[in-house]
Amino acid sequence: MMPSVTITRRGEERARAGHPWIYRSDVSEVEAAPGDLVQVLGSRGRPVGHALFSDESEITLRMIAFGLAAPSTDFVKARLAAAIAYRESLALDATAYRLVHGEADRLPSLIVDRYGDYLVVQALSQGIDRRLPEITAALVELARPKGILARNDPRVRLLEGLEQHVAVLYGDVPERIEVREGAVTYDVDPWKGQKTGLFLDQRENREAALRYAHGRLLDAFSYNGGFALSLAPRCDAVLAIDISENAVARIRENAARNRLANVEARAMNVFDELRELERTGARFDTIVLDPPAFAKNKSAIAKALSGYKEINLRALKLLKPGGFLVTCSCSYNVSEAMFLEVVAAAAADAPAEVSLVEKRAQGRDHPILINVPETYYLKCLILRKLA
């Protein structure tokens, strides 16, 4: 007999609406072990689908298949193959990109990023963690990497009762991997870099920003220089700011490696530096704001909005008329509508007349599920200051 979990009417409604997560509060009966693939039953014993079960997380079930039919025994490999084929079809102009994006590739809580010949994997639930040997074998066969690293250090693993660790799953993984994104090459540290090494989700927004970037560029929250380096060839002078000394060292290294002599990097707090730039009368033609997620949970939304308002207000003041502001939010708790509203409020206060040039999201290798708002986490607005 297959393990099973019975859910409440409310849980059933969520699943029938196409949402892949069932919360603990919507679970009524469990006959399963941690990480099991279970049959999900509705309140009257009706089959709802199949899911991976977690006995620790608030997200108790992650749907693998909706409806009657059980997933095939090789569903993991089949879905990995589909995810890889989709990325190949995109013909991305980069050697680093996301190969598997969890829910949106029907492999909930599994992340696989490609960095050249290497893969970096994150298993963020009990069900996926238990299947890592199967996933590794399938990835070796399908993607033929030289090495696979498990970056299983995100804190969310603790919510699953899983330990945090970084380990090689296959082959060897060096401390530095050279990758290319458009015209820029980077040295990536897959062992210790933020996320799995790079902010891959911004690749297409960097490409889009290239259409408008000119003059003096300010790249605020630069990390290892993603926007600064890709936009530098179109700009006269670039100032990249990040609070992390280590990130700033990377920006300088990467600027030198790409022979971009017009990039200056400063280790500063953006909030302080924007104020200082305003005080000294500095002006820019192009500004990028790409802060970390200010709203990590629902209770942080109000404070996050005031943070977004402040940096956008200051940036709009520093921007010359005719200039472009590329402003991002990667908080999934802040919706596109909320973000637009806060940026509009900043424009009103600046005061600045601003038009919306492009409304963007994370790149296509990080797909959004239309029935799962949580998967639309990265918002990127490209704005033009008219006056």
Note the residues at the interface with ligand SAH (CB under 6 A): 199, 202, 221-223, 226-227, 241-244, 247, 269-271, 290-292
Q: At what angle do helices 75-90 and 132-143 cross, to 10 degrees?
A: 40
Chain-centroid distance of CA 316 in Å reads 26
Q: Which is nearer to ligand SAH, 66 or 271 (CB)?
A: 271
- For the chain, the distance separating the N- and C-terminal CA atoms, rounded to the nearest angstrom, is 69
- CB 22, CB 40: distance < 8 Å: yes
CA atoms within 13 A on the CB side of 304: 21
| Secondary structure class of 66 (helix, strand, coil) | strand
Instruction: Give DSSP secondary structure letters for 341-364.
Output: HHHHHHHHHTT--EEEEEEEES-T
Burial of residue 214 (number of CB atoms within 10 Å: 0-12, 13-18, 19+): middle
Which of 38, 228 has the CB closer to ligand SAH?
228
How many Cβ atoms from other residues are within 10 Å of residue 172's Cβ? 10
Task: Please give the structure tokens belonging to residue 261.
Answer: 């002599």
Nearest-approach distance from CB 55 to ligand SAH, in angstroms: 33
Q: How far apart are CA 327 and CA 171, in angstroms?
A: 40
Rg of the Cα atoms in the chain: 22
Q: Are 28 and 44 in contact (CB under 8 A)?
A: no
**Is 328 one of the catalytic residues?**
no
Least CB distance from residue 285 to ligand SAH, whole Å?
18
| Contact (Cβ atoms closer than 8 angstroms) between residue 218 and residue 241 | yes
Residue nearest to ligand SAH (CB): 226
Q: Which residues are catalytic?
A: 330
